[in-house]
Structure 1
Amino acid sequence: MTLLLPDLLRVTPLRVAGGGTPARFAVQAGERFDLVNVSGGQAATLLFAKETVRAVAGALLSAPQSPDSRLTALWSGQEGQPVACAVFGPQTRMGERVGFEVLHDGVVFIDIPAEDMLPENSNPPGFLDIVFEPAPDGRVRLPEPLGVVTQEFRVPAATAVSYRVAKGEYIQILDVEGRQCSDFLAFDAQALAQGEEYGLDATATRTVQGNAMPVPGLRGRFLDSRMRPLVEIVQDTVGRHDAFLLACTAKYYDDTGYPGHANCTENFNAALAPEGIAERSGWPAINFFFNTEVLECGTIASTEPWSRPGDYVLLRALTDLVCASSSCADDVTSANGWAPTDIHVRVYDRHNIFPHGVKHRMTAASPAEMTRRTGFHDSLAAQGARFVEYKGFWLPSCFEGYGPVAEYWGCRTQACIMDLSALRKFEVTGPDAEVLLQMAATRDIRKLSVGQVVYTALCYPHGGMLDDATVFRLGPQAFRLVCGDEYCGEWLQALVSEHGLAANVRASTDQLHNMSLQGPQSRAILAPLVWTAPTQPDIEALKWFRFTIGRIGGPDGIPVLVSRTGYTGELGYEIWCHPKHAAAVWGAVWTAGQAHGLVPLGLEALDWLRIEAGLAFAAYEFCPETDPFEAGIGFAVPASKTEDYVGREALLRRKQHPARVLVGLESSSNEPLAHGDALYDGRARVGVVTSACLSPVLKKSIALARVDVTLAEHGRTLEVGKLDGIQKRIPVRITAFPAYDPEKTKVRS
């Protein structure tokens, strides 16, 4: 049975966070939309022209009325007499919705007032989803323009259009109805005027960028054969494309039995003829939304695109360009979902400023979210950060002027500071908060004291891991769960609904950013900075896996929560604050740390540190196919916990009958080992390397690996297979882990 989720592919959800700038969206007569209170308890106000929309489902908290002065000012410049309508309230249940019908074309503002959350509190602003239903007449809703538009046109199905773009302008290529490929060509306009044709070049782009397809960020440019960049990718809501296969050709259709079929190459030839560009039998193009991959055997395969209605790629012209965009004509394969549809193009003024990013969806039904900056971003940039996209945020991979090696040694010998704000945070509160987490976590949450933190696994019923997490107990009925996967919040909410629990789960990631201060000098740096009340432990007294609440700069300073936790195997702390205070917190710690040799730390050096310390990482040491024992964190599944929890029965069975176990490896060679390398015992493949690095402090190549339990005794020699696994073998010896400070004396110091 094939599940296409057609309803999900037709709607255009928009998520609006509480406490931010009011959102504005256009509406069309005949449409219907629902407001969904994602986590419950969040009030909002709609502002619209009188008689533009009306409620058709759910209960309003107020009838439409005249807006207050603040909302009236927000309406300035819009047409019609505005009315305000309050929806939802503090007692609104999670998932409750109100439906609206649009009577006339217009605009709607949604205001979601909320206070900022203090680090020690559990009251983050909520989220509302705006979910549009398809219009009865079949019209498709396009996303709102991103900024000032200078050109806008439609590329009808199975056609192509040429257009000119000036240097600095932005090109947005939108998939109108979803699952529709769009080939893109660009030429240096100045060179064309001189009779020279320099277009996008596959070999130059792939060689210089190091990627099959450029992505927003450092490796986001398409080059010509002179290795000069013509365009860069600024935003991408799909993340699955092909670059530089030929646009479909007449020969392709002739050879497959469809002579005379419309094709992108001939469409491009016709569109580009007025620019004096010679015809080709096949145009190498950027194939946006074309879902292709190269199989292990070398075959190029394709299937339906990932793109949905309104998905887009945003490009920026790096010189004056002649461009062409097509709507691919292929209706004889799944390349366009078997039915070609329109492509829409918008060109934006060069004075617009659009942040770089890609979009992520937590689940198939979730609204897409663009990569965002943490509150520490500007401070990191000032230190020379080289940013990479990591789980929906821009985080540093390393820093100019330092580099991973210097950053690593800074942590091991003095102190380092890093941004870990991409961790997802959830506030779990209510009478059944403890019951919920006792059901969700493998650790015994009932034993957790206020002010204590515990590391735990979160598992599926079959025993495979959803994620690992730390749980903070803020009060008798208030907890904070910190993890890596945003889906954990939805999973907890599903448990609440399934078991009828009186508990609330609210995402606080965007209200609580965190930096980590690690290394032998971390206590000396932090202790003078953080003021704590007499009822809270100070930094000197704070024990491992405990937290304290304080302020930086004295009793009236910046509110922070400080936990003695980390991911490096060294003495260290995490400092949690509101994003608006992040720059000030970073500045205070950075300034205080200079006398102690403090350095910034990026993800590359952090990976070496955590591998040496034997710390698990999602999609490396664990995944839904591995249990906590196979991930090397069996200690997080205590036998003393007798209450039932998700996955308990499967974990008891797996513990009694283990098949694989995580071990340490060390190599006498300096040949690099890598995640995914196969482990062999003679000809037989018996395991896989999960993480590896050349340890600076141990001066040897080490790894973590998952291996057959019958071959896991310490001291046994196995081989890592390189190349095809046969031609090159690297001997390794099984060891215990962690490889660095196995007794954890440093982190406990």
Structure 2
Amino acid sequence: MPEMKTTPLYDTYQKMGAKLIDFGGYLLPVQISGIKQEHQAVRTAAGLFDVSHMGEFYLEGKNAESFLQRMVTNDVSRTEPGDAMYTAMCYENGGTVDDLMIYRLTATNFMLVVNAANIDKDFDWLTRHLDGQAELTNESENIALLALQGPRAAGILQKLTAFDPSALPHFKFRQNVPVAGTDVLLSRTGYTGEDGFEIYCPWNHAASLWSALLEAGKDDGLLPCGLGARDTLRFEARLPLYGQELSASISPLEAGIGFAVKTGKKADFIGREALAGQKKNGLSRKSVGIEMLDRAIPRAHYPVYAGGVRIGEITSGTQSPTLGKNLGLALIDAAYTSIGTVVEIDVRGKQKQAQVVRTPFYKRS
């Protein structure tokens, strides 16, 4: 069994007595003060997450853009330096290699941020297709990432920098922003459904930056948060999780992120033909929101039935901390995806009724 990896905040977690779990090969806290409390802090005030387990690759060279255009589903040619873009990488059959963020640093330099469990797989996949078009380096062990999320995030951050974070548009970033004495890449992005910022910094500066942010936000209700709240927050906002809503056998279109699939862009890309076929012929299955009618919580991999016939399965599910409802995301036969359709969830051998509902479950005003 491989040795577990840790982030720069491992010693901090030990001192806090946080409950640590294996996530993508890293030891990370599932909760610190409590999932519901942390979740509520992000929705109403602010939360701070250590997401240093995410992978960062640098891609540079005059052909870097054309290489990315071949590898990802979104249209990278529409970005300018300072733009962040969400996209997917696909196999020829339309299945998903990973979903990722692309940061355009300059005309010829990019940073790719990939899921922790997929770092090695993604790096191998990209390297296999490079053909000398650009230079790719894995900087995952040198770059740490903190996410400050919630309606008070900008005000908290402002206490530590001369830069005005509220002036940074969504899905834009700024390099070399001094925050608490450390130059960071500051991005107005996140994975919670709330406003907020992602802060990329040198690995050995993460612990001091974490402490400075918590101190700055102590009077604003800022809480340190674990993976549990990160999951419930992204779920309510219908943001997909790789390995659940997305996988090698689930396409970006089936997962509901068709906005990041540009089959009409000029450049050809891996999986384009399969995805264009799905668009043209219609999807045979789709990801939908599920609300339980009976008393039960839908969990990942619970089978979904209609009229005694299995039509799919739950990909994610929980009791929503914000809404107090038992909700799920399910990948099911497209014939049963109309809003209001009643289905049955197999909950440990018992059939429980649910209905298809609109998503996202939560959207900030």
CA contact (8 A) 2:240 2:246 kept: yes
Aligned partner of 2:336 in structure 1 is 711
Bigger relative contact order (CA 8 A; separation at least 6): 2
Residue identity in the other structure for 1:552: V
CA contact (8 A) 2:296 2:347 kept: no
Residue identity in the other structure for 1:504: E
Q: CA deviation at 1:527?
A: 1.7
1:494 paired to 2:131? no
Per the normalisation by structure 2, the TM-score is 0.96
Aligned partner of 1:371 in structure 2 is 4
Q: CA deviation at 1:530?
A: 2.3
Give the structure with the larger helix fraction. 2
Residue identity in the other structure for 1:492: L
Residue identity in the other structure for 1:443: N
Match of 1:540 among 151, 166, 173: 166
Match of 2:224 among 584, 597, 600: 600
Q: CA deviation at 1:413?
A: 1.2
Aligned partner of 1:426 in structure 2 is 57
Residue identity in the other structure for 1:661: K
1:435 paired to 2:61? no
Match of 2:357 among 725, 735, 738: 735
Q: CA deviation at 1:735?
A: 1.2
SS at match of 1:548: strand
Task: Provide the C-alpha distance between the structure 1 equivalents of 2:101 and 2:154, rounded to a whole number of angstroms.
Answer: 21
Task: Provide the C-alpha distance between the structure 2 equivalents of 1:703 and 1:454, rounded to a whole number of angstroms.
Answer: 27
Task: Provide the C-alpha distance between the structure 1 equivalents of 2:362 and 2:323, rounded to a whole number of angstroms.
Answer: 8
Aligned partner of 2:190 in structure 1 is 566
Task: Provide the C-alpha distance between the structure 2 equivalents of 1:640 and 1:648, rounded to a whole number of angstroms.
Answer: 9
Give runs of aligned pairs for residues 146-161 of structure 1, distance below 5 A. none
Aligned partner of 1:99 in structure 2 is none
Q: CA deviation at 1:682?
A: 1.3
Task: Provide the C-alpha distance between the structure 2 equivalents of 1:568 and 1:586, rounded to a whole number of angstroms.
Answer: 19
1:384 paired to 2:17? yes
Residue identity in the other structure for 2:342: T
CA contact (8 A) 1:542 1:564 kept: yes
Q: CA deviation at 1:520?
A: 1.1
Residue identity in the other structure for 2:316: S
Aligned partner of 1:551 in structure 2 is 178
Kindly report structure 1 stretches of 4+ aligned residues shifted beyond 6 Å.
Answer: none
Aligned partner of 2:35 in structure 1 is 404
Match of 1:689 among 306, 314, 335: 314
Task: Provide the C-alpha distance between the structure 1 equivalents of 2:248 and 2:97, rounded to a whole number of angstroms.
Answer: 6
Residue identity in the other structure for 1:701: N
Q: CA deviation at 1:507?
A: 0.3
Aligned partner of 1:140 in structure 2 is none
Aligned partner of 1:663 in structure 2 is 288
Aligned partner of 1:699 in structure 2 is 324
Q: CA deviation at 1:722?
A: 2.1
Q: Per-residue CA shift, 1:409-440, capped at 9, x if unaligned?
A: 11111111111111111000011111111111
Match of 1:677 among 302, 311, 315: 302
Q: CA deviation at 1:385?
A: 1.6
Task: Provide the C-alpha distance between the structure 2 equivalents of 1:588 and 1:638, rounded to a whole number of angstroms.
Answer: 41
Gaps of at least 5 residues in structure 1 are 1-236, 238-358, 360-369, 533-537
Q: Per-residue CA shift, 1:643-687, capped at 9, x if unaligned?
A: 201111111012223110110011133412100011110110011
Per the normalisation by structure 1, the TM-score is 0.47
Q: CA deviation at 1:531?
A: 3.4
Task: Provide the C-alpha distance between the structure 2 equivalents of 1:619 and 1:471, rounded to a whole number of angstroms.
Answer: 20
Flag the 1:670–1:696 CA change in 2: closer, same or farther, 3 A: farther
Provide the aligned length of Structure 1 versus Structure 2. 360
CA contact (8 A) 2:170 2:188 kept: yes
Task: Provide the C-alpha distance between the structure 2 equivalents of 1:581 and 1:602, rounded to a whole number of angstroms.
Answer: 20
Give runs of aligned pairs for residues 311-326 of structure 1, distance below 5 A. none
CA contact (8 A) 1:378 1:583 kept: no
SS at match of 2:252: coil
Task: Provide the C-alpha distance between the structure 1 equivalents of 2:12 and 2:188, rounded to a whole number of angstroms.
Answer: 23
Flag the 1:670–1:531 CA change in 2: closer, same or farther, 3 A: farther
Give runs of aligned pairs for residues 220-369 of structure 1, distance below 5 A. 237=1, 359=2
Task: Provide the C-alpha distance between the structure 2 equivalents of 1:642 and 1:669, rounded to a whole number of angstroms.
Answer: 49
Residue identity in the other structure for 2:343: L
For the pair shown, which has the larger CA radius of gyration, 1 or 2? 1
Task: Provide the C-alpha distance between the structure 1 equivalents of 2:226 and 2:158, rounded to a whole number of angstroms.
Answer: 24
Match of 2:47 among 400, 416, 432: 416
Gaps of at least 5 residues in structure 2 are none
Residue identity in the other structure for 1:734: V
Task: Provide the C-alpha distance between the structure 1 equivalents of 2:194 and 2:16, rounded to a whole number of angstroms.
Answer: 23
Residue identity in the other structure for 1:578: P
Task: Provide the C-alpha distance between the structure 2 equivalents of 1:445 and 1:513, rounded to a whole number of angstroms.
Answer: 25
Match of 2:100 among 466, 469, 479: 469
1:527 paired to 2:158? yes
Aligned partner of 2:238 in structure 1 is 614
CA contact (8 A) 2:298 2:326 kept: yes
Task: Provide the C-alpha distance between the structure 1 equivalents of 2:332 and 2:25, rounded to a whole number of angstroms.
Answer: 32
Residue identity in the other structure for 1:591: E
Tell me the percent identity. 35
CA contact (8 A) 2:297 2:327 kept: no
SS at match of 2:254: coil
Aligned partner of 1:516 in structure 2 is 147
Task: Provide the C-alpha distance between the structure 2 equivalents of 1:467 and 1:506, rounded to a whole number of angstroms.
Answer: 18
SS at match of 2:105: strand
Q: CA deviation at 1:639?
A: 4.2
